[in-house]
Amino acid sequence: MMVENLASPTPLHHTRPEFRKRVTTFFTSHRTLFTVLWIMAFLSVFIWQNDFVDQFSSFRKVEKMREMPKLRPVVFNLTDFGGVGDGVSLNTEAFEKAVFAISKLGRKGGGQLNVPAGNWLTAPFNLTSHMTLFLAEGAVILGIDDEKYWPLMPPLPSYGSGRERPGPRYGSLIHGQNLRDIVITGHNGTINGQGQSWWKKFRRKLLNYTRGPLVQIMWSRDILISNITLRDSPFWTLHPYNCKNITIRDMTILAPISEAPNTDGIDPDSCEDMLIEDSYISVGDDAIAIKSGWDQYGISYGRPSKNIYIRNLVVRSMVSAGISIGSEMSGGVSNVTVENVLIWDSRRAVRIKTAAGRGGYVKDITYRNLTFQNVRVGIVIKTDYNEHPNGEFDPKAVPVLQDISYTSIHGEGVRVPVRIHGSSDIPVRNVTFRDMSVGITYKKKHIFQCAYVEGRVIGSVYPAPCENLDLYDEHEQLVTKSASQNVSDIDYDF
């Protein structure tokens, strides 16, 4: 006689609801864990492929510090202080009175100065903290072109001398020191330095002091400059010096592409946490030049430029380079990303320039998605840029150049795509090229030129890279190890 087994399993159709309940409970209680694991897996792919950690953390740091400018509780018009926009009347006093009024409003959130349509001639004037300078459509601030109105200032402490002449230097048209919360913006109004007379006097050696920038802000933080045009600066156009948390966006910066000496577009100098984006720059020198002091003075001052993100630009420089680092980089430059940039009709596209005596370093530099159009030399690293403030520099103070990558570099009409000129004293280390295809105008053999450089080429790079670099396939497997990193095939004849 068979006895019913009371311990026999429950039929399958009875177990399914309980199973589903348990699965649902498990996934619900562990949803956060699965999400974290999925994100970690996703990020690990980027870490493996693109050294993503440094780039991502840098990007997040730059993006996190940006805030939309606050509306000011008080708004003034320049005409409230006697301003006359006829292009003839001098408005320096009106600007000074307006800035003084805003300086009293800091605890209330500051003030905005509206510059209406018109031509507002002025001598140099200073900004104050918690201030918005707003240029309406059709507004033009004109710098007076008589140097007797321009104040003299001490040399920058990290330069020890005027950049062009020993001793003092002229101040900037619009100036600020030790400020916080500065906004210069508008409806594409213009700040015009009327630099033509300055350029002529410089070429004729009629100036006793270094020319002044158009806009210079020093030892300040929380700065936004956007939606205006800067043009015809006497010297460097926009010069943030030893500043932190700077955003420059939606700008047009112009100067003649010849016979406008040293009219750099933007010169971040010993600056930290900076974003430059969505702008057009065509000037008579470097469109952007990242700096950090000059020889022994920069070494002693010791303020690097770091955490700088440059993206979405169209630039031109017939005299110098689209985007430069140096040559004054003695305090160091690190963690710079340059991406989505078109450099057209230029002498050089992207350049790092330095020399013995500079000291400092250039490291952790990423170039990504660059397009060269009608450029004489595409990528340049130069280690013999021998301009010095005086003969007191230490020739044994050599810079360190390392960890520099170039990814997705394309273009046409380029004479020499790459010229990396290291030396036995200043070798260039850990340079990476990946995904490069540049149409060339010369068919000479050595158009990818190298000297004293160590690094690697990953995957397809055209034209053929120099023999100094190791070759890897698309999967980053070593194909050919270089045996000639110190060989030089630099040819300045073309």
List the catalytic residue out of 222, 273, 285, 470: 285
Q: Where are the beta strands (DSSP E) in 178-332?
A: 180-186, 190-192, 215-218, 221-226, 229-231, 238-241, 244-249, 252-254, 272-283, 288-290, 305-317, 321-326
Rounded distance, CA 160 to CA 210, Å?
A: 12
Q: Is 278 a catalytic residue?
A: no
Pairing of strands 152-153, 169-170: antiparallel
Q: Cα separation of 55 and 58, whole Å?
A: 5
Please tell me the distance from the alpha carbon of residue 391 to that of residue 462, in angstroms, as a whole number.
42
CA nearest to 437, candidates 462, 413, 407, 474: 462
Dist. CA 88–CA 210, nearest whole Å: 26
Contacts (Cβ under 8 Å, ≥6 apart) of 2: none
Contacts of 42 (CB under 8 A, 6+ apart): none
Q: For the chain, what is the largest distance between any 2 Cα atoms, rounded to a whole number of angstroms?
A: 124
Query: Which H or E run contains 75?
Result: strand 74-77
Pairing of strands 333-353, 400-421: unpaired
Cβ count near 264 (within 10 Å)? 26
Pairing relationship of beta strands 244-249 and 215-218 according to DSSP bridges: unpaired
- For 84, the 3-state DSSP assignment is coil
Only one residue has tokens 């340079």, namely 431
* Cβ density class 43-57: b for 16+ within 10 Å, e for less: eeeeeeebeeeebee
Q: Bridge partners of 365?
A: 336, 404
Rg (CA), the chain: 28
Task: Tell me which residues are annotated as active site.
Answer: 285
